[in-house]
Structure 1
């Protein structure tokens, strides 16, 4: 029996602009949607939600401070250049522009709607393309993130009595989500990411395991540069997968950033569609109600390929490894020469791969010592 799935996408996701020189391009959403359409994944697969209710301040105040929200609204109301670095607003990383709050609220509301569809409407999977703003803190924008949609959505699930796993496979550590639930044993946060020793946001080490009741419920696997497909799958298989099973959540929330890909301009991992697809298939096989959000990715075509693959897997549709001709014509007009959806499995150069493998083995050993006993005992 096919799963009941929902895709959340609005043309308004692309109505704003963080700046011509900013690495985050909102066109990524239209790219992904057009590729899904070209593969026939829109009209007859799952249900498309293009309109949904916007959440109110009460939901946002479950995580964000009133002072921060007030400043975000104030700066959003005008095109006048503004900045307040106390709140992380107005710098090169987190620019402010007219309509910013409305744009951030639209994406955040999409993730909350995805959670509602799974928790109340019987959907097995709901995927919000414009979610995944995992760096937003209680009172500060960070890492292109203004409102933390995953935190707000998880809070809505907790209010319904659900226990939640949050799995983040973006190249950057999900620091804002970890912050929100660091002392909460109802949420298990797992982040596989590039090491913060030299990489933004400089957090996400193995010793960050939670505090108080949440001790043992924050899990971090920092990956060295040049981590490749085999090592990424190893991190998932030996850490994330058994811990998800031990925690046995009511809902899993996943951040599916595509900036782990080896051709991403901002990151240093060497992941391809091979390990990305592998992880998604294993998540689907768990048959846990699933809320998915987009996340990072600074090559628009990588993002489109990744999320089309994800939506295909969620709906049990095998996609041709070659991009549809109509999509190739579209991207060719924009200067892209790509013709393939899928990459071959990639192995990094031996010397750097050995270093990455050694670091991963040490991380796994430490996690097995500090985290596994807590969750296995609780199970």
Structure 2
């Protein structure tokens, strides 16, 4: 029995400096806030901190179409008027705008999830965290719902090189449609999404009846919920379903998307979870002691996102955090009470006991169709790193660094975080 989990944590300060636009709800700045809160609690001293490599276009094309990756690579705000057809074709524009350093942003958050999967595969850690990742709506050839590159699919594809079966769990308020769609026809990935469904709520998919097709029939599980679900209803349903899924499916690794827009008072959400309720799900998944890749996702009230993911970093480290937030570069955002935990609101829970019971019965009925773990024929494991030939002289030395050299760059304390402060007004 191992005594202590080894945890790898991925972060690049540049990820918080991109700006979707003044009225856009997605604020990558929340990642800087999360990171500084993690530092202020001293959690970095209990983990190995890594700066992820920037994913190469060829790595992104393991899932996404080459033409779409090339478009993201080429497009800039001042050029977009030249590509009206492509903007439409790739669903880029309003929800998923073009902004400065868009492609680098994608490379960093996707690189973090890919690196996390590789470290897990090589037994170098037990849990890997990339709060910048979790962009679960992106499709093979299209952006969707603020997501351009689907880092989760790329991370799962890495894990499948070493594991016969991977379980994907999503607690974002929005349906994890991009991940479900990518693995809809296979039994090697089971996707389980708990989300708001109905009333034209984005993305409009995720009915309990959507269960996968062909070899993937019954390997997509959807738990559609109504407004106002609270800690008690959510965590009981979550634990009952996930315990059964792990028992029946017997995954070799788990990917957990922790979208924080399911928290109470989220700018775009409509659930009523406290941070304790949200983090209880993380605590429960950790207990299975399987290789675990944890990402962020949605979350649009940024000070609560930072609180939530900091608490969950503590949960993964088995570390109880003081409710009084220590001084840090973003302390002003956490006033007036400067406390870590947020409680539920008095929102009405529209999920009746009979509704939850019916959903649970339907999910269990679908699971009974699987009954025991499928036998998967393992194929030859593909190589870890698909890197094309580059002219070394032209490469930025930071991007040229191989994985081994990067891994040696464990950075603790504040060695490279001094320049992270985002002093740009982000419109909230």
Bin for the TM-score computed over the shorter chain: over 0.9
Write the mapping of 1:87-102 to structure 2, written as runs, cut at 5 A. Answer: 87-90=90-93, 92-102=94-104
Query: Using the alignment, how far apart are the partners of 2:124 and 2:248 within structure 1?
Result: 24
Query: Using the alignment, how far apart are the partners of 1:186 and 1:46 within structure 2?
Result: 30
Contact 2:95 / 2:144 at 8 angstroms: preserved in 1? yes
Query: Using the alignment, how far apart are the partners of 1:354 and 1:298 within structure 2?
Result: 22
Report the equivalent of 2:423. none
Alignment equivalent of 1:255, drawn from 245, 254, 257: 257
SS at 1:206 equivalent:
coil
Post-superposition CA distance 1:45-73 (Å, at most 9, x none): 111002x3333333322221122112212
SS at 1:72 equivalent:
helix
Alignment equivalent of 1:359, drawn from 338, 355, 361: 355
TM-score of the superposed pair, with normalisation by structure 2: 0.82
Report the equivalent of 1:72. 72
Query: Which one is further off, 32-41 or 194-203?
Result: 194-203
Report the equivalent of 1:339. 338
Q: CA deviation at 1:348?
A: 5.4
Contact 1:216 / 1:375 at 8 angstroms: preserved in 2? no
Determine if the alignment matches structure 1 residue 48 to structure 2 residue 49.
yes
Kindly tell me: are residues 347 and 368 of structure 1, through their superposed partners in 2, closer, same or farther at Cα, counting changes over 3 Å?
farther
Contact 1:164 / 1:188 at 8 angstroms: preserved in 2? yes
Report the equivalent of 1:59. 59
Query: Using the alignment, how far apart are the partners of 1:374 and 1:141 within structure 2?
Result: 33
SS at 2:241 equivalent:
helix
Report the equivalent of 2:385. none
Q: CA deviation at 1:359?
A: 2.5
Structure of larger gyration radius: 2
Post-superposition CA distance 1:116-153 (Å, at most 9, x none): 11111430000011100100001110000000000011
SS at 1:252 equivalent:
strand
Post-superposition CA distance 1:67-104 (Å, at most 9, x none): 2112212214x5334451111112x2110023211111
Which runs of 5 or more residues in structure 1 are unaligned?
Answer: none
Kindly tell me: are residues 377 and 45 of structure 1, through their superposed partners in 2, closer, same or farther at Cα, counting changes over 3 Å?
closer
Report the equivalent of 1:235. 237
Query: Using the alignment, how far apart are the partners of 1:177 and 1:129 within structure 2?
Result: 17
Q: Over the residues paired in the alignment, what is the CA RMSD in angstroms?
A: 1.9
Which runs of 5 or more residues in structure 2 are unaligned?
Answer: 376-428
Determine if the alignment matches structure 1 residue 268 to structure 2 residue 276.
no
Contact 1:79 / 1:97 at 8 angstroms: preserved in 2? no
Kindly tell me: are residues 167 and 313 of structure 1, through their superposed partners in 2, closer, same or farther at Cα, counting changes over 3 Å?
same
Contact 2:304 / 2:342 at 8 angstroms: preserved in 1? no
Write the mapping of 1:267-306 to structure 2, written as runs, cut at 5 A. Answer: 267-306=269-308
Contact 1:16 / 1:103 at 8 angstroms: preserved in 2? yes
Query: Which one is further off, 81-90 or 195-204?
Result: 81-90
Report the equivalent of 1:166. 168
Report the equivalent of 1:135. 137
SS at 2:202 equivalent:
coil
Write the mapping of 1:74-223 to structure 2, written as runs, cut at 5 A. Answer: 74-76=74-76, 79-82=78-81, 83=84, 84-90=87-93, 92-223=94-225
Post-superposition CA distance 1:212-250 (Å, at most 9, x none): 111111000011001111111122022122202321211
Q: CA deviation at 1:361?
A: 1.9
SS at 1:291 equivalent:
strand
Q: CA deviation at 1:356?
A: 4.1
Q: Which has the higher contact order (CA 8 A, sep 6+)?
A: 2
Contact 1:126 / 1:291 at 8 angstroms: preserved in 2? yes
Kindly tell me: are residues 290 and 377 of structure 1, through their superposed partners in 2, closer, same or farther at Cα, counting changes over 3 Å?
closer
